[in-house]
Chain A
Amino acid sequence: MKAFTQLNGLVCPLDRANVDTDAIIPKQFLKSIKRSGFGPNLFDEWRYLDHGEPGQDCSQRPRNPDFVLNFPRYQGAQVLLARENFGCGSSREHAPWALEDYGFRVVIAPSFADIFFNNCYKNGLLPIVLAAEAVDQLFRECEAQDGYTLTVDLAQQTVTTPGGTSFAFDITEHRKHCLLNGLDEIGLTLAHAEEIRRYEEVRRQQQPWLFA
């Protein structure tokens, strides 16, 4: 996994609540057996005016000029600013894959759906929960100022605006450690293989029907 330490990135504001993972990456793109290449189809139904299918050359497709991701001022954005319950619905990890493949490294929202939130960490994508008032302020500032960037420091657990306002965010020690160091979580877990085996053996004796 890609490590995440610090970032100063352009911010794109997506002013909608309850953005679901079907919207982030529509179902037809889930037929892929690969982990990469989903970026061009991120928000496909909102971003393009035609119907998208896997394997298309997206550079030739008609873009929806009213969709914020297509605004010239937000090209190259690495921070997605969103509203509450971002990433709800389907558990498809293709959603964080698409966001990461597009170039986003951070998503900031007042709240996230649990499965999406968890999936982000597995892919070097940092989801940050800030208070609704803080998110409101970031939306206002971002829309008012061209080239608006935010500085995200994972070690310090802060998001800092160009004006110098700093917001602290929470993250578990385990997730922070994995993300800062780009660690392979399976490798970390397998370091406890003996403990897992011991647990399993006890369980097998107590509840043999689970191991039939």
Chain B
Amino acid sequence: MAYTLYDKLWNSHVIREEADGTVLLYIDRHLVHEVTSPQAFEGLKLAGRQPWRISSIVATADHNTPTTDWDKAEGTAAIDDPISRQQVETLDANIREVGALAYFPFKNINQGIVHVVGPEQGATLPGMTVVCGDSHTSTHGAFACLAHGIGTSEVEHVLATQTLVAKKSKSMLVSVEGDLGAGVTAKDVALAIIGKIGTAGGTGYAIEFAGSAIRSLSMEGRMTLCNMAIEAGARAGMVAVDEKTIEYVKGRPFAPKAEVWDAAVAYWNTLHSDEGAQFDTVVELPAAEIVPQVTWGTSPEMVIGVDGRVPDPALEADPVKKGSIERALNYMGLQANTPITEIAVDKVFIGSCTNSRIEDLRAAAAVIQGRQKSPSVKQVLVVPGSGNVKAQAEQEGLHHLFLAAGFEWREPGCSMCLAMNADRLEPGERCASTSNRNFEGRQGQGGRTHLVSPAMAAAAAISGHFVDIRQF
């Protein structure tokens, strides 16, 4: 029988199955951060339960942590907001009490966005089930993992039992064949797929991304793509193992070594869909059709090529969709039919679990070429995904390029992707952002977010408005 990659990952983790198809699924890796875990640790304690296997836990603080002035006070005292500080300190205390395979607290060199840290440390390995109380856990599917976000009750369930009660999703193959054009990145592929199938297109599915264009992506690019599977409605996205996967994992701190490595690689090389495996749904998107993307609305599916115009609600027949477009244009302060390249931005954010890895920072820096940010742009934040990404970028001198252009070079964290810390948009401000969500208020109440690739964000910072990176 021919199995999909998803079948293989699922089947190898089923402990028991009920008559209605509900299974007990074993969890290999549990990533933990400060926002969605305190109630789970408290629940565990109140019930008098012990964690099942602490060697599955990798924890870091990322959502609340500030990106400036780390040196102004000792430890967490450098976090100004007392409620944020309490949440970070609660994680410190919980991990101290419970234990973990690894904990990277605030200011640790290995600290950073949990979905950057896991792969970087080799804590994310092919074939694993990976969960975290964060919807962007789908990122780890880039390593042929079954990886998805869970709620806090499930965080507690995994802590206590090393399992999840789950039901198998349907399978979707998203195939992108051909060569991506110059200036077209994994981010553009992700946004183009969401534009095609919609933000609910993947609901109820696990998506496998395949095709020559996907195989051509680096591991960083595949992480960007799988990261945004959730924005297409799919809890999990994944890519088969190939030599790039194995090369990326090799030598990382928590990767297997010596003869165990060889056994692991032999197994990992089986992690692909078999020839002739059947998917419930197949979506094909020719690579040649994908151009650099810019979102114009308040949902990631409200996206268009940079050479396009803001859509006109008058042309939409469906009343619910028409209402959504009108509401989005009103919130975004945009007129129908405006060329995308005429939209001016106030701020630029380069960072997030989608686009804060070294490749992303290199792409943004490469655009600058001695130029300055536009005087009309108030602020350009560059927030590396982890302490290690920051160190690597500094070793390559990228920070000098950013600083010379008038960009701000910050400490690692989630930052203005969700604006839980001090980095945020003011009401009405418009931002070119490399993050993953353009929802109302996501980057600050009243803020207006346009999702783009790192190169497109840097180019908008320099020009003061969106530009087609292919002509920049």
Q: Is the CB of B153 within 8 A of A93?
A: yes
A31 to chain B, nearest CB (A): 4
Encode contact with B along A82-116: 1 for CB under 8 Å, 0 otherwise: 01110011111100100000000000000111110
Given contacts A45-B445, A85-B233, A192-B16, contact A200 B440 (CB under 8 A): no
Neighbour of A88 across the interface among B43, B165, B233, CB < 8 A: B233
**CB within 8 Å of A: which of B5-29?**
15-16, 18-22, 24, 26, 28
Q: Is the CB of A212 within 8 A of B254?
A: yes
Chain B residues within an 8 Å CB radius of A34: 39
Alpha-carbon separation in the docked complex, A49 to B442 (Å): 17
Q: Is the CB of A189 within 8 A of B233?
A: no
Q: Is the CB of B264 within 8 A of A199?
A: no
Alpha-carbon separation in the docked complex, A209 to B204 (Å): 31
Neighbour of B264 across the interface among A16, A30, A207, CB < 8 A: A207
Residue B200 CB within 8 A of the other chain: yes
Alpha-carbon separation in the docked complex, A189 to B21 (Å): 15
**CB within 8 Å of A: which of B50-104?**
52-53, 55, 63-64, 81, 83-84, 86-87, 90
Q: Is the CB of B162 within 8 A of A111?
A: no
Interface residues, chain B, with chain A CB atoms under 8 Å away? 15-16, 18-22, 24, 26, 28, 35-36, 38-39, 42-43, 47, 49, 52-53, 55, 63-64, 81, 83-84, 86-87, 90, 125, 127-128, 133-135, 137, 148-154, 156-157, 160-163, 165, 167, 169, 199-200, 203-204, 230, 233-235, 254-256, 260-261, 263-264, 267, 299, 320-321, 323-324, 327, 418-420, 437, 439-442, 445
Alpha-carbon separation in the docked complex, A200 to B129 (Å): 13
Q: Is the CB of A196 within 8 A of B441?
A: no
Q: Is the CB of A192 within 8 A of B320?
A: no
Q: Is the CB of A91 within 8 A of B324?
A: no
Chain A residues within an 8 Å CB radius of B441: 22-23, 26, 45
Instruction: Tell me how many residue pairs across A and B have CB atoms closer than 8 Å.
Output: 195
B319 to chain A, nearest CB (A): 10
Given contacts A91-B150, A115-B151, A199-B15, contact A186 B161 (CB under 8 A): yes
Chain A residues within an 8 Å CB radius of B128: 210
Given contacts A119-B153, A209-B125, contact A85 B160 (CB under 8 A): no
**Interface residue tally for chain A (C-beta within 8 Å):** 60
Alpha-carbon separation in the docked complex, A22 to B435 (Å): 15
Neighbour of A33 across the interface among B22, B39, B63, CB < 8 A: B39
Residue A118 CB within 8 A of the other chain: yes
Q: Is the CB of A172 within 8 A of B21?
A: yes
Mostly, the B contact residues are loop
Neighbour of B200 across the interface among A18, A54, A93, A203, CB < 8 A: A18
**CB within 8 Å of B: which of A1-60?**
15-18, 20, 22-23, 26-28, 30-35, 45, 51, 54-55
B433 to chain A, nearest CB (A): 14
Q: Is the CB of A195 within 8 A of B15?
A: yes
Interface residues, chain A, with chain B CB atoms under 8 Å away? 15-18, 20, 22-23, 26-28, 30-35, 45, 51, 54-55, 83-85, 88-93, 96, 111-115, 118-119, 122-123, 172-174, 184-186, 189-190, 192-193, 195-196, 199-200, 203, 207-212
B254 to chain A, nearest CB (A): 7
Given contacts A91-B135, A210-B128, contact A196 B161 (CB under 8 A): yes
Alpha-carbon separation in the docked complex, A31 to B128 (Å): 30
Chain B residues within an 8 Å CB radius of A112: 203
Chain A residues within an 8 Å CB radius of B49: 186
Chain B residues within an 8 Å CB radius of A122: 151, 153-154
Alpha-carbon separation in the docked complex, A212 to B264 (Å): 12
